Structure 1
Amino acid sequence: MDIQAREDARRWLAEDGVAQVGHDEWTDGEAPDHRLTANEVAHNWAGPAFTDERLDAPGQLRLAFGLLDLLDDYWVTCEILFAHQGPDGPLPTEVLWNGYRRRLEAPQVSEAVTYSLWVDWFEDRSTSATAFAEVLGHDMDQLTTDAPDTLLRRARRVLECSGPVPWQTKQATYRFATRLPALHLALFKGLLSSYHDFYGDLQPDAALALLAELDLPVNTEHLKELRTVLTAGHSNHYRSPHAWDSALRTHL
């Protein structure tokens, strides 16, 4: 979270009469006695952040990220994506991805941030490679034993939701992650989602080799099942749903 961006967004909303009056309660200038949820505020004001003519494009994007910090609502990330892909896009690249990186590095990450990466940026083949590179891939050579905690937090969160990213895009970063035990569980979750996500992508032999390098507790949930289906050459749950069911029965 960017505290300054959040407070700038709060002041921007206040200029339009929008004020927070409770944990998830807001009012606006037109009907001060009517209560709005954060989601309603996001639907009504996140889009207009990108039409505020007092701000340049980077300023509009920073305002949108401030609204995300303030409202903690997925719809704000949708408006960011709409603006990026709209007629006035793309958005300023460094501001866009620095905004994601900073929030992925925070002690507490917003679920809206990781969810938007997963279902919007990573599932879309036209954006997945760029998005993955920007939030982690470009920094994979920094995944060393003395890597800062901020990078490790970001890496864990990206790996966990990286299932839909094409295998060729993420394989090298996955391999780097095997070098750090602190990332092993997150990488396992990435491999598991690469198998189970509807858009998940992996190569069974290569994924099995990575799995063999992970130092995980023997009772890690679904470790045995994942190893079984990969050994059998299956690459995705939805292409062979019986394979996972059979593995579950085998390891009861």
Structure 2
Amino acid sequence: MDMRAGQDARRWLAEAGVTQVGDDAWIDGDAPEKQLTANEVAQSWAGQAFTDERLDAAGRLGLAFGLLDLLDDYWVTCEIRFADRGPSGPLPPDVLWDGYRRRLEAPETADAVTYSLWVDWFEDRDTCATAFAEVLGRDADHLRTDSPQPLLRRARRVLECSGPVPWAVKERAYGIAARLPALHPALFKGLLGSYRDVYGDLEPAAALGLLTGLNLPADTAHSAELRAVLTAGHRNHHHSPHAWEEVRR
């Protein structure tokens, strides 16, 4: 979270008559009798950040990230993606991906950001390779047991939601993560998603090799099922819907 960006976004909303009156309660000066949720504010105002003619493209994107910090709502990330992929895009890539990386590294929860990566950037075959490289792939060589906590935090969060990323794109980063026990739980979630997600992608033999080397608690949920389906050569739960249940019988 960027406190200054959030404060700037709060001032921007206040200029438009939108102010916060509770934990998840806002009012619009044009209709003060009705309280709004953060999601309703995001739905109404996140897109407007990209129409503010007082700001350049980087400034508009910075304002949108400030709204994300302030509202903590997934819809803000949708508007960021719409702006990047729309007729006025692309957005400045350095600002875009730095914004994602900083929020993935922050101690605060990053659920809206990771959900955005998972269902939008990583599921789209036009954006998955670039997105994964920007939020983790290009920094994978810097992962060490003594890496700074922000980098390790980012790696964990990206690995956990990386199921839809094509195997060829993520395999190298997965291999590096496999050398670091601190990342093993996150890598397991990534492998599980690579099999279970609708758009999950993996190579069974390579994924099994990584899974076998992970140091996980004996009672890790679904580890036995995942090992069995990968051993049988299955690539995706939705291509072989009965394989998972057969293992559990």
Is TM > 0.5 for Structure 1 vs Structure 2? yes
1:32 Cα deviation after fit: 1.6
Greater alpha carbon shift after TM alignment, 191-200 vs 109-118? 109-118
1:109 Cα deviation after fit: 2.2
Asked whether the equivalents of residues 164 and 197 of structure 2 are also in contact (C-alpha less than 8 Å), the reply is yes
> What is the identity, as a one-letter code, of the residue corresponding to 1:164?
P
- Determine whether 1:19 maps to 2:23: no
The equivalent residue for 2:79 is 79
With normalisation by structure 1, the TM-score equals: 0.98
Greater alpha carbon shift after TM alignment, 25-34 vs 167-176? 25-34
Q: How does 1:204-223 map to 2 (within 5 A)?
A: 204-223=204-223
The equivalent residue for 1:248 is 248
Provide the identity percentage.
Answer: 72
The equivalent residue for 1:157 is 157
> What is the identity, as a one-letter code, of the residue corresponding to 2:48?
P
The equivalent residue for 1:51 is 51
How far apart, in 2, do the equivalents of 1:217 and 1:67 lie? 39
1:247 Cα deviation after fit: 1.0
Q: How does 1:54-203 map to 2 (within 5 A)?
A: 54-203=54-203
Q: Which runs of 5+ in 2 are unaligned?
A: none
> What is the identity, as a one-letter code, of the residue corresponding to 1:201?
D
> What is the identity, as a one-letter code, of the residue corresponding to 1:50?
F
1:10 Cα deviation after fit: 0.0
The equivalent residue for 2:35 is 35
1:33 Cα deviation after fit: 2.0
- Determine whether 1:7 maps to 2:7: yes
How far apart, in 1, do the equivalents of 2:26 and 2:218 lie? 48
How far apart, in 2, do the equivalents of 1:8 and 1:150 lie? 24
* Alignment size in residue pairs: 249
How far apart, in 2, do the equivalents of 1:205 and 1:239 lie? 17
> What is the identity, as a one-letter code, of the residue corresponding to 2:127?
T
How far apart, in 1, do the equivalents of 2:55 and 2:113 lie? 24
Q: Which runs of 5+ in 1 are unaligned?
A: none
SS for the counterpart of 2:20 is: strand
> What is the identity, as a one-letter code, of the residue corresponding to 1:42?
A
Deviations 1:165-206 (A, max 9, x none): 000000000000011100001000000000000000000000
SS for the counterpart of 1:150 is: helix
SS for the counterpart of 1:147 is: coil
How far apart, in 2, do the equivalents of 1:107 and 1:14 lie? 27
How far apart, in 2, do the equivalents of 1:43 and 1:219 lie? 42
Note the aligned Cα RMSD (angstroms): 0.6
How far apart, in 2, do the equivalents of 1:81 and 1:191 lie? 26
> What is the identity, as a one-letter code, of the residue corresponding to 2:171?
Q
Asked whether the equivalents of residues 145 and 182 of structure 2 are also in contact (C-alpha less than 8 Å), the reply is no
1:34 Cα deviation after fit: 1.6
